[in-house]
Amino acid sequence: MGELIAVLSGKGGTGKTSVCAGVATALAAAGKRVLCIDCDVGLRNLDISLGLSDSGALSFLDVATGGYSLSQAACHPVYRELSFLTAPVNCRAEDVAEEPFREMLRQARKNFDYIFLDAPAGVDAGFRLVAGAAERFLLVTGAGPAAVRDAARVADLLELMGRQDVRLVVNRVDRSMLATVRLTIDDVMDTAGLPLLGVVLEDSHVPLAAAFSRPVLQFAPRCAAARAYRNIAKRIQGLHQPIQFK
């Protein structure tokens, strides 16, 4: 059975969607069957980071309630093991019925090794929909105090919901900024109260890849962000991969 992984953040601007796309692409490149679902109802952007903005993908509601099957999910033209469902635009997250959504995910677990749920930032209805369905959680934060505080709040809410498999990804890390303010990744971990899954350096290739609507791993496979995504993908698979950020 495949694993359901929610990618969350306490606030916007942390690069959560880029991390979701990068890690999912790395797993697909390694031969794993991956389904990415954009769960940011009304504000979808995952297709851009995946390089699928012109795919005409079905929404997850099309599959959950519209009579379409998972086999009709958009297939990536480069990473053939990667499929994609976008978010609906003509409804609210509050209007998404939980049981059809969860039934779709149960079916997805039979057909994919990993299902990534790219949740909206914050802790509103979209967060609750995704957090209630997933088993593993990647909590993406920046290194700034506001982002870390919001990540700690999300971690507390997940704990109250009984969710335990939560790992921290510190994204868009500027080493010179950390040195200036005398902050370390250990400090971020301590504030968030979570174990670390990976560190992704600030990398101009990420917005450039999005501007050209291409996955980072295809656009700049040797860049710092691409290396970090591949390393996180290895750790998700249970492979030993020391955490470094160079």
Are 148 and 177 in contact by the 8 Å Cβ rule? The answer is no
Q: Where are the alpha helices (DSSP H) in the chain?
A: 16-29, 46-50, 60-64, 98-111, 125-131, 145-160, 175-181, 185-192, 205-211, 216-219, 224-236
> Tokens in use for 197?
């899954």
Each residue of 187-239: pLDDT tens digit?
888 888 899 999 999 999 999 999 999 999 999 999 999 999 999 999 999 99
Q: Which residues contact 179 (CB under 8 A, 6 or more apart)?
A: none
Each residue of 95-150: pLDDT tens digit?
899 999 999 999 999 999 999 999 998 888 899 999 999 999 999 999 888 888 99
The C-alpha atoms of residue 173 and residue 131 are separated, in whole angstroms, by 26
Under the banding of pLDDT at 50, 70 and 90, the label for residue 181 is low
168 to each of 69, 109, 188, how far by Cα in Å? 33, 24, 9
- pLDDT recorded at residue 104: 96
> Tokens in use for 57?
């993908």
- pLDDT recorded at residue 245: 59
Q: What is the mean pLDDT of the chain?
A: 92
Which residue, 188, 134, 138, 141, is CA-closest to 162?
Answer: 134
> Tokens in use for 155?
């971690």
Name the residue with higher pLDDT: 18 or 176: 18
The angle at the Cα of 192, spanning 189 to 196, to the nearest 5 degrees, equals 40
The whole-number average pLDDT for the span 160-175 is 92
- pLDDT recorded at residue 85: 97
Residue 198 CB neighbours (<10 A): 26
Burial tier of 202 (Cβ tally within 10 Å: 0-12, 13-18, 19+): middle
